């Protein structure tokens, strides 16, 4: 496949569905070799299969982005498959509904739900960048895009943990 990313190796977290899947398919259409990574391995495998069926090159990886060891394994597997990582899209994330805090005001959030939101949506991005940057520097550099949200720019009364995590990503 020819295009703007011809021959490049891309790692996409949250690659099982939504924005991550759409990005993986677009990157592949532009010629990238894609590693679709997600906690939902079945969904990541579906994404990789869609890319291969369209004539591209792709692998699927399972990852819990808040776990440093799993992130290292994901990055190592991508480099093993493609020789390098030229671009990474750190898109894995969860919403308040995933931690039982949907539509709850700050004083009603559980501490466990808040912690999980920060672990995945902020720490997960940081762990991915930490590992990706190290490998990119070994092979001449690369580019990283991190998914945030409008919630990273403006508060929402029912999403305090989500807002805090996404603001941390936006910086």
Q: Is residue 161 in some structural domain?
A: no
Q: Residue 112: count other Cβ atoms within 10 Å of its Cβ.
A: 11
- The verdict on residue 137 lying in a domain is yes
Among residues 27, 82, 89, 162, the one annotated as catalytic is: 162
Angle, CA of 163, 144 and 139, to the nearest 5°: 150
Nearest Cα neighbor of 163 from 97, 108, 66, 95 is: 95
Is 82 part of any domain? yes
Question: For this structure, is 116 an active site residue?
Answer: no
Query: Mean pLDDT across the stretch 151-166?
Result: 84
Q: Determine the pLDDT at residue 151.
A: 78
pLDDT digits (tens, 9 = 90+) for 37-70: 999 999 999 999 999 999 999 999 999 999 999 9
Q: Residue 158 falls within a domain, yes or no?
A: no
Mean pLDDT of 122-134: 98
In this structure, what token pair is assigned to residue 97? Answer: 């509904």
Task: Answer whether residue 3 is part of any domain.
Answer: no
Full domain range(s) for residue 69: 9-95+125-149
The CATH number that applies at residue 52 is 3.40.50.720
Number of domains in the chain: 1
Q: Is residue 138 part of a domain?
A: yes
Q: What does DSSP say about strands 9-13 and 58-62: parallel, antiparallel, or unpaired?
A: unpaired
């Amino acid at each position: 496949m020819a295009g703007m990313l011809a021959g490049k190796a891309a790692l996409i977290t949250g690659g099982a569905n939504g924005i991550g899947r759409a990005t993986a398919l677009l990157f592949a259409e532009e010629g990238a070799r894609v590693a679709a990574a997600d906690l939902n391995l079945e969904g990541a495998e579906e994404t990789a299969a869609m890319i291969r069926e369209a004539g591209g090159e792709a692998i699927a990886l399972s990852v819990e982005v808040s776990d440093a060891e799993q992130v290292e394994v994901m990055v190592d597997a991508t480099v093993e498959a493609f020789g390098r990582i030229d671009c990474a899209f750190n898109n894995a994330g969860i919403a308040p509904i995933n931690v039982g805090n949907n539509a709850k005001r700050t004083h009603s959030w559980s501490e466990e739900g808040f912690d999980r939101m920060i672990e995945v949506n902020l720490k997960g991005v940081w762990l991915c960048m930490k590992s990706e940057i190290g490998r990119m520097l070994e092979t001449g550099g690369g580019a990283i895009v991190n998914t945030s949200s409008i919630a990273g720019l403006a508060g929402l009364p029912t999403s305090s943990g989500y807002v805090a995590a996404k603001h941390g990503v936006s910086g």
